[in-house]
A and B are shown apart, each in its own frame.
Chain A
Amino acid sequence: QVQLVESGGGVVQPGRSLRLSCAASEFTFSSYTMHWVRQAPGKGLEWVAVISYDGSNTYFADSVKGRFTISRDNSKNTLFLQMNSLRTEDTAVYFCALPYNSLDAFDIWGQGTMVTVSS
């Protein structure tokens, strides 16, 4: 079935960088917009970024604009989130999410990958 699997999380010092990946399977990845959503420990959901099906359009939350980049490799069915200049407030579980069969809503989610920014 349609599946998303995130990887790349870990512990990183403030100011450093980290790249997250989201491997997609069992659907035509190159046809779908993809999103990243995060959730700080004990907090609510925060949308982070979106990329169009072909990578030509991206949008970011104000909290990450200028520090994070979203990209995709349609030949490898993989979504990326490049996170630079990390801050302690970026500590969260990061989910990739897919509006697959529900208009624009996110009906497919990965399991999440934890990013901890700490000195």
Chain B
Amino acid sequence: IQLTQSPSFLSASVGDRVTLTCRASQGISSYLAWYQQKPGKAPKLLIYAASTLQSGVPSRFSGSGSGTEFTLTISSLQPEDFATYYCQQLSSYPVTFGPGTKVDIE
């Protein structure tokens, strides 16, 4: 199952509302997760089962979607949110990740 993410790169400002999109090549129900990764660090799980917020993750992050189209929304971008975001499908093996969206400071 192939995942595509859009945009590949996003320039935004602190306080902006940001929406990232992930599309699957076939239906994956809600078997989708979102990760945040900063340079030199391991990925951090933000959302699983498409819309469940991982424990400890700020509520400004939210996920939605099912089937083939999914979104990650950051309601008010904070300085610590500038990072690369990956989606991941867990519907079937092989597990696959999207190519990522880099969120940079405008």
Give me the interface of A with B, judged by CB distance under 8 Å. Answer: 35, 37, 44-47, 50, 59-62, 95, 101-107, 109-112
Contact of B45 among A44, A45, A50, A105 (CB under 8 A): A105
Chain B 36-53 interface residues, beta-carbon cutoff 8 Å to A: 37, 42-45, 48-49, 52
Which chain A residues border B96 with CB–CB below 8 Å? 47
Q: How large is the interface on B (under 10, 10 to 19, 20 to 34, 35 or more residues)?
A: 20 to 34
Contact of B94 with A by CB under 8 A: yes
Which chain B residues border A111 with CB–CB below 8 Å? 42
A18 to B40 alpha-carbon distance, docked (Å): 22
B97 x A105 contact (CB < 8 A): no
Give me the interface of B with A, judged by CB distance under 8 Å. Answer: 31, 33, 35, 37, 42-45, 48-49, 52, 54-55, 86, 88, 90, 93-100
Which residue of A has the minimal Cβ distance to B88?
A105
Between A45, A104, A110, A111, the greatest number of chain B beta carbons within 10 A of the residue's beta carbon is seen for A45
Which chain B residues border A112 with CB–CB below 8 Å? 42
